[in-house]
Chain A
């Protein structure tokens, strides 16, 4: 069964450094999401793509976070510079375009900022 791939699975970095996360959605899924999940809480949406276009990035801290999906397939989420409060699980999800389709989640990247 096709899955959403994410890498790296774990990342430890020092504050003020740059980090990047990669997501490869299920083939054919035009919609891609990045979520942040702080320990003990539910995921919160950071950005949604439809193909290569950003649909919603209202919750993305744009002073330090950026996201791109240049060819409408895989996507990269970057943090520059990382802060202690960015320590969290970063989840990627994808779905087929269609109102009744569920989102499929990847395994996530756990980030620890020291």
Chain B
């Protein structure tokens, strides 16, 4: 059974810092990996999707990398802003189109 782990569980940084969120998964037979953002009490917003054949994806200040063989992904956030404060969730999709989520990283960016 696929297991997804996210480290750290919580992170507090001052505004302007560059930061890295980590995600690891136990079964490398994935179809793709996604990073989602979730604001308190709200649904999930997809940030980046990396296909299994890709190494990274970029969107604005966000960059996600994927090393399928080692079962790892990182989400890099450049020049963090208070508006980036949210929970970031990593999820892997298997060949049956099922998503398995990690527990999330709760990020607080202080002004």
Contact = CB atoms under 8 A, between A and B. Distances in A.
Interface of A: 4, 31, 33, 40-45, 48, 56, 89, 91, 93, 95, 99-100, 102-108, 110
Give the interface SS of chain B, mostly helix, strand, loop or mixed. strand
Interface string B30-62: 011010100001111110010100000000000
A65 B26 CA distance: 30
Given A42-B4, A42-B103, A42-B104, A99 B97 contact: yes
A50 B91 CA distance: 20
A105 B91 CA distance: 13
Given A100-B32, A107-B43, A48 B98 contact: yes
30 contacts: A31-B97, A33-B99, A40-B103, A41-B103, A42-B89, A42-B101, A42-B104, A44-B101, A45-B98, A48-B97, A48-B98, A56-B98, A91-B43, A91-B44, A93-B44, A99-B31, A99-B97, A102-B34, A102-B46, A102-B49, A103-B46, A103-B99, A104-B46, A105-B36, A105-B45, A106-B43, A107-B42, A107-B43, A108-B43, A110-B41
Contacts of B89: 42-43
A31 B99 CA distance: 13
B44 A43 contact: yes
**Which of A44, A93, A99, A103 lies at the interface centre, i.e. has the most chain B CB atoms within 10 A of its CB?**
A103
Which of B43, B91, B102 has the most C-beta atoms of chain A within 10 angstroms of its own C-beta?
A: B43
Interface of B: 4, 31-32, 34, 36, 41-46, 49, 51, 89, 91, 96-99, 101-104
Residue from B4, B98, B99 having most chain A Cβ neighbours under 10 A: B99
Contacts of B34: 102
Contacts of A41: 103-104
Nearest to B95: A99
